[in-house]
A and B are shown apart, each in its own frame.
Chain A
């Protein structure tokens, strides 16, 4: 198992409600992959602090069990909503219905936002597994996830 020293910054902090909203949307999307966006705070350098202010469940425009594309209209709505709250979009989450909670080759190839947090929720086992990654220049590093009570 990885120790805490192997995690990249930041720590993704989700409230219990946010965590449950993400996982519920993933199950609702079955048999297809589900996806959504995260808004939160960024530091002076534009890096997410890890604090999430809003979770936006989105439509998977691919309607596929193998790929996802966040519906373009959901994307602009979430971005504008975040702007009105003085937040920014800081990440995306999606489900893997039959594989582990780790970015696929497709996820790495199509990761366009080096500042974002990429959350993957695996539904392959009885209990969901949620993990978070940074994907930069084709390299993947994991971030710690903390779910707080709410």
Chain B
């Protein structure tokens, strides 16, 4: 079932400028894999070389951070919205 994925300004150029896109999947990881298949430049921004969620992004299912759920294995259902925000960080 399609799930809406909202992207931050920084990642929109990788999907043709769209603020949100839809993709199918039963988990956040499945949804990301489909998105990355369609938009390969997104890959390195969402998932690191080890296949884990990239540390510089926060990903929310609805408004719950998936790091506190089941990470990329977090299940998604019809009507859920996945939001991606850049981590706000510095030194």
A residues contacting B by CB (< 8 A) are 33, 35, 37, 62, 66-70, 72-73, 75-77, 79-80, 92, 94, 103-107, 110-115, 118
Contacts and interface: CB of A to CB of B under 8 A. Distances in A.
Contacts of A118: 90
A112 B88 contact: yes
B78 to A, nearest CB: 22
Interface of B: 8-10, 56, 58, 60, 63, 65, 67-68, 83, 85-91
Contacts of B10: 112-113
B90 A107 contact: yes
A130 to B, nearest CB: 16
Given A68-B90, A70-B87, A80-B63, 20 more contacts: A37-B88, A66-B91, A67-B89, A67-B91, A70-B89, A72-B67, A76-B63, A76-B65, A76-B83, A76-B85, A77-B63, A79-B85, A106-B91, A110-B90, A111-B90, A112-B10, A112-B86, A113-B10, A113-B88, A115-B9
A interface majority secondary structure: mixed
Most chain-B CB neighbours within 10 Å: which of A33, A62, A69?
A69
B87 to A, nearest CB: 6
A56 B58 CA distance: 18
Nearest to A77: B63
B91 A70 contact: no
A82 to B, nearest CB: 13
A67 B88 CA distance: 11
B89 A69 contact: yes
A76 B83 CA distance: 9
Contacts of B89: 62, 67-70, 110
Nearest to A80: B63
Given A79-B85, A110-B56, A103 B67 contact: no
B86 A113 contact: yes
Contacts of A111: 90
Given A75-B58, A75-B85, A112-B10, A103 B90 contact: yes
Contacts of A104: 90-91
Nearest to A73: B65
